Structure 1
Amino acid sequence: MALDIVLVAGILLSVLVHLLLRRRLQSIRRLPLPPGPAGIPILGSLPQIGPMPHASLASLAVRYGPIMYLKMGTGGVVVASSASSASSFLKGLDLQFANRPFAISRKDVTYDCQNFVFANYGPRWKLFRKLCNLHFLGSKALADWAPIRRDEIGRVLRSMLESSRNSRPVAVAVSEALVCANANIIGQVLLSRRVFESQGEESNQFKDAITELLTWSGKFNIGDFVPAIAWMDVQGVQRHMRQLHIKIDALITALLAEHEATAHERKGRPDVVDLVMANRVDADGVSLSDVNIKAFISDMFIAGTDTSSVIIEWALAEMLRKPTILQRAQDEMDRVIGKTRRLEESDIPNLPFLRAISKEVLRLHPSTPLSLPHYTPEACEVDGYYIPKGTRLLVNIWAIGRDPNVWEDPLEFKPERFLSGRNANIEPLGHDFELIPFGAGRRICVGMHAGLLMVQYVLGTLVHSFNWKLVDDIQVLDMEEKFGLVLPKKVSLKAIVSPRLVGSAYM
């Protein structure tokens, strides 16, 4: 008798929940869609995006508002362009928008969605993130791998020092040097080996492949929005992505083969891949396949080699345009560190102006101008608007960082804004939505702390160690952007350096 009562109560409760959800959905459907451009048949607003989507979407948001809905092919895209609208999605409806939409153009580079970055939210993604935080990008892991960062950046310094000693100093290609160093840091931490012995043709080819892949990944591919014509590959995105994936996959395959062959040499000294392999099955039986692990390594190289170097290059370019900022940063470091040793990571908390420069460059030149896409599997309400099931979400991080309602003189590079006044306590860690270069919510960039540390440490080291000047034939520094998933300078920075420290500091 008691069992029957429980069963009936359970059925009644299920019916009640169903009716309430149905009524809620009917109520939501009566709400208006967010405002946005009308678009054209079939393609919708795709033709309005253009080659610089972050800028064109920011211009459209001035007209249509901080929450904007665009019809894109067979689906819809909602764009958040202000701190408050980003918070409404990534804080208020974080779980609802925790998944990634499938894109045919990314099928190869994500190993058919078996990677970490574009995996849907769920048990396997959680295992990925747990292992990544525990062994690679968490605070303890970052501290454990500090000697590797110091050694690799030391190699960069010595290479730059050598170039400055020539009878005719050679201009330093900043991004090339830093990408090579970043790849070697990641290679040593993940796989116990440097990827490139020195900067040169091999490392530059790797850099070019990743840069090109990130550029093509950022394109609004028609086939992703109009699946019926995806086979035509109208823009050539799928073909280019496949070719670039083959190059990068070949390198990772070779690295993994060598890693397996040298396992006996690491007894008692496991690297990240060893630790991930050993913990690939969790207590609930969720497991990572060999393909998952290979895709994870690919993610770490692609995401880790170019992003921080792009930010550092922008920061140096801005300081070369405003030498007073460069001088102020060097004066601060000279007071705190002196000129007899290199900057150490432990010095960073004592360098407020360096930290302010880092935040300012992340505001004005976020490495990821548009967030990686989110999507909602169910219809929902956001700030009084109806968001249909299956809508993709983009957060315009670039526009938020340039919002004149938040930032005084938003297009000016002014690090001092983070030292006093209303912006002084804003941090780029996902809690202050005015500054979210790494995203926010549960899909915030897992490498946020590592990325911020690398920007502060490497930028500070370069500024402290050298005087910087533009090559003689450059009168005006080109500050144009090149759009992709990452936002580098269109013309790479080259500069002449000369040492500021005693010779022993570079050893």
Structure 2
Amino acid sequence: MEAMASSANLFFYAALLFLAVLYLAITRRRTSRLPPGPTGLPLVGSLPFIHPNLHVCFAGLAAKHGPIFSIRLGSKVEIVVTSPELAHEVLRDKDPVFSNRVIPEAGRAVSFDGVENIVGAPVGPKWRLLRRICAHEMLSPTGLDNLYGLRRREFRSTLSFLYSQAGEPVDIGAQMFVNMLNVVTSTLWGGTIGSESERAAVGKEFRGLIAKLTELLGSPNLSDFFPVLAPFDLQGIRRNMERIRVRFDKIFEKIIQQRVKGQQDGSKMATDFLECLLKTEKEGGDGKATFTMTDVKSLLMDMVVAGTETMSNTVEWAIAEMIQKPQVLRKVQEELDRVVGREAIVEESHLPQLHYLRMVIKETLRLHPALPLMVPHSPSVDSTIGGYHVPAGCRIFVNVWAIHRNPLVWNEPLEFNPDRFAGDAGRRWDFTGSQFDYFPFGSGRRICAGIAMADKMTAYSLAMLLQAFDWTLPPGTDLDLSEKFGVVMKKATPLVTIPKPRLSKPHLYYS
């Protein structure tokens, strides 16, 4: 009996050893098909070695491992692409496969009733409905033109405020954030949320909420790297995001109730984005996908969050780069003086004539794309990139920041030089996502829906600021152009500058 027991034990352990070897062989075979990359440590992978400026860290790893590499972060395998050719494969050639998203725990926590927003929704009838509403109602050229009066009002208000601060230090990024927020919310619901003091209070609260939301979205979250830990919410990110969602919900609920009450009272309502959303909600959708009041709130939050920091940060970067290169600042102002003069305020109608200003914006977005790693893509099925295996459900980072600094494409790539976009080069490198050595707004079906609005508002902001004021640093301060990675690309230190009026007559600042 003992001999039989020993034989049975021996067989059992032999079977275990065989299964272990077989598992390791299969795992190694699968791993070997992945792109090359850092080995990392057991369990945690490369998490301990990741630098906070993830786009720079990934660019360094690409220099070592090649234009496509895999990296294990906790229990997750991520793929990073850092070449125009591979970006083309992901975003164009295999767009139907790679067009979905992996929603981080923080993103799920801030969503209304678990409803996926336009950024995270999988490609399908609901995503197409959301995209069509945004593209046709709010972000189309006609829709933007119809709301020019609202934008003009907010820009003139900013102009007056800055004039009152002449000679004093101004945090230009913070001020432009408030300006963009007021423009976006006015575009969304016409600013009809009560008195000026109530609007100011809501604007201030929005700014705090958005700043916290984007900070949490950009924070490394153990719940994403180790999903088994998600129920414990060890860093409290989910709890904080849920609080933000509740506060947004209360603000939107109040705005919607005021609008619905006005409709019931027979008041004349503004033809703004909220009106279009409520009309679609009343119709229940488009026959292919439903559209509820939760979707109304979700889209409102998408537009508020996406349309503020991205544009205000671009304006801040552009002014910082021009302070560093005064000759560029002078050329922009000379162009504004030729086209508009100093006896009138620049209008959006002047923008098509401001060619050099457009070159400055393109160069700013080359060096400082709003989303340096874009929103990660995810294959719906197992696929390949560059001949390497890419498992379904993993995240694909396209490092547009590094691609825009490729020395094989760009002469002196680290230099701020708007002249590189002159003539035919300017026509080649546009915002359509057709060229994969320059695509600051992405490409393919997931290309940013708000390109027209971002282009118009960024150009209008810079034109107004540079026509109306000269900008200098406070005495004794140095310009810091270092970056801080997050959901959007930020300056590590805010740009504080002193405005000096340059228009011919004071009353122009209050017209």
Q: Same fold (TM over 0.5)?
A: yes
**Aligned-partner Cα distance in 2 for 1:67–1:357:** 31
Q: For structure 1, which segment, 200-209 or 178-187, has the greater mean C-alpha deviation from structure 2 after superposition?
A: 200-209
SS of match in other structure, 2:490: coil
**Aligned-partner Cα distance in 2 for 1:305–1:265:** 33
**Aligned-partner Cα distance in 1 for 2:261–2:355:** 46
Structural mapping, 1:165-204, within 5 Å: 169-193=167-191, 197=196, 203-204=203-204
Which ranges in structure 2 are unaligned for 5 or more consecutive residues? 1-28
- CA change 1:110–1:439 in 2 (3 A) is farther
What amino acid is aligned across from residue 46 of structure 1 in structure 2? L
SS of match in other structure, 2:63: helix
**Aligned-partner Cα distance in 2 for 1:249–1:399:** 38
Hey, what does 1:55 align to over in structure 2?
Answer: 56
What amino acid is aligned across from residue 151 of structure 2 in structure 1? R
Per-residue deviation at 1:295? 0.8
| Alignment check: 8 A CA contact 2:382 2:390 kept | yes
**Aligned-partner Cα distance in 1 for 2:237–2:484:** 17
**Which one of 349, 352, 356 corresponds to residue 352 of structure 2?**
349
Residue 394 of structure 2 is aligned to residue 391 of structure 1: yes
CA-to-partner distance for each residue in 1:184-226, whole Å, 9 max, x for gaps? Answer: 2222222121679379776444323212211221223221121
What amino acid is aligned across from residue 211 of structure 1 in structure 2? A
SS of match in other structure, 1:279: helix
Per-residue deviation at 1:74? 3.0
Hey, what does 1:11 align to over in structure 2?
Answer: none
Hey, what does 2:500 align to over in structure 1?
Answer: 498
Structural mapping, 1:11-26, within 5 Å: none
CA-to-partner distance for each residue in 1:223-254, whole Å, 9 max, x for gaps? Answer: 11211112233444323333333333333233
- CA change 1:283–1:251 in 2 (3 A) is closer
Total equivalences in the alignment: 475
What amino acid is aligned across from residue 464 of structure 2 in structure 1? T
Hey, what does 2:487 align to over in structure 1?
Answer: 485
Hey, what does 1:88 align to over in structure 2?
Answer: 89
Per-residue deviation at 1:391? 1.8
SS of match in other structure, 2:70: strand
What amino acid is aligned across from residue 230 of structure 1 in structure 2? A
**Aligned-partner Cα distance in 2 for 1:480–1:254:** 40
Q: For structure 1, which segment, 227-236 or 310-319, has the greater mean C-alpha deviation from structure 2 after superposition?
A: 227-236
**Aligned-partner Cα distance in 2 for 1:261–1:36:** 58
**Aligned-partner Cα distance in 2 for 1:471–1:306:** 24
- CA change 1:325–1:105 in 2 (3 A) is same
- CA change 1:80–1:265 in 2 (3 A) is farther
CA-to-partner distance for each residue in 1:3-54, whole Å, 9 max, x for gaps? Answer: xxxxxxxxxxxxxxxxxxxxxxxxx989832111122222222333231111
Hey, what does 2:429 align to over in structure 1?
Answer: 426
CA-to-partner distance for each residue in 1:102-134, whole Å, 9 max, x for gaps? Answer: 322222222224322211111011001111111
What is the TM-score with the length of structure 2 in the denominator?
A: 0.87
| Alignment check: 8 A CA contact 1:31 1:385 kept | no
Per-residue deviation at 1:268? 6.1
Hey, what does 2:22 align to over in structure 1?
Answer: none
SS of match in other structure, 1:492: coil
CA-to-partner distance for each residue in 1:369-404, whole Å, 9 max, x for gaps? Answer: 111121112111222111112221111121112222
Structure with higher helix content: 2
Hey, what does 2:408 align to over in structure 1?
Answer: 405
**Aligned-partner Cα distance in 2 for 1:464–1:36:** 49
Higher alpha-carbon Rg? 2
Per-residue deviation at 1:66? 1.4
Structural mapping, 1:37-116, within 5 Å: 37-111=38-112, 112-116=114-118
SS of match in other structure, 1:96: helix
Hey, what does 2:313 align to over in structure 1?
Answer: 310
CA-to-partner distance for each residue in 1:438-465, whole Å, 9 max, x for gaps? Answer: 1111111111111111111111111111
Hey, what does 1:233 align to over in structure 2?
Answer: 233
| Alignment check: 8 A CA contact 2:38 2:46 kept | yes
What amino acid is aligned across from residue 44 of structure 1 in structure 2? G
Hey, what does 1:22 align to over in structure 2?
Answer: none
Query: Where does structure 1 differ by over 4 angstroms across 4 or more consecutive aligned residues?
Result: 28-31, 198-202, 420-424
What amino acid is aligned across from residue 410 of structure 2 in structure 1? W
| Alignment check: 8 A CA contact 1:105 1:223 kept | no
Structural mapping, 1:105-254, within 5 Å: 105-111=106-112, 112-164=114-166, 169-193=167-191, 197=196, 203-254=203-254
**Aligned-partner Cα distance in 2 for 1:45–1:128:** 37
**Aligned-partner Cα distance in 1 for 2:202–2:366:** 33
- CA change 1:404–1:233 in 2 (3 A) is farther
